[in-house]
Amino acid sequence: MFKIIEPHRQCYYKARLDLFVKLMRLQQRFFLSSREQSQATFILAEEEEGEVYGGAILYRKSPHDLHLQIKKTILTFCPYEEEIWECTLFLQSERLSYVRDRDFFMKVFYRNLLEKLIEVGREHGVYFLCLTLSPVESHRIRKASFWPWIVELTPQESLDNLFHGILSLQINEGSSRERTQKICPTNFSPQTRKGGL
CATH code for the domain of 7: 3.40.630
Q: Based on the number of CB atoms within 10 Å of its own CB, is 158 exposed (0-12), middle (13-18) or buried (19 or more)?
A: middle
Q: With a threshold of 0.75, does the pTM exceed it? A: yes
| pLDDT at position 183 over 60 | no
pLDDT in tens, 131-176: 999 898 999 999 888 899 999 998 888 888 899 999 999 876 443 3
- Positions of E strands within 31-127: 41-46, 52-61, 84-91
Top mean pLDDT of 99-103, 147-151, 186-190 is at 147-151
What is the rounded radius of gyration, in angstroms, for the C-alpha atoms of the chain?
A: 17
Percent of the chain past pLDDT 90, that is, above it, reads 44
**Domain of 74?**
2-195
Q: Report the domain count for the chain.
A: 1
Q: What is the mean pLDDT of the chain?
A: 82
Dihedral, CA of residue 128, residue 152, residue 160 and residue 92, to nearest 10: 70
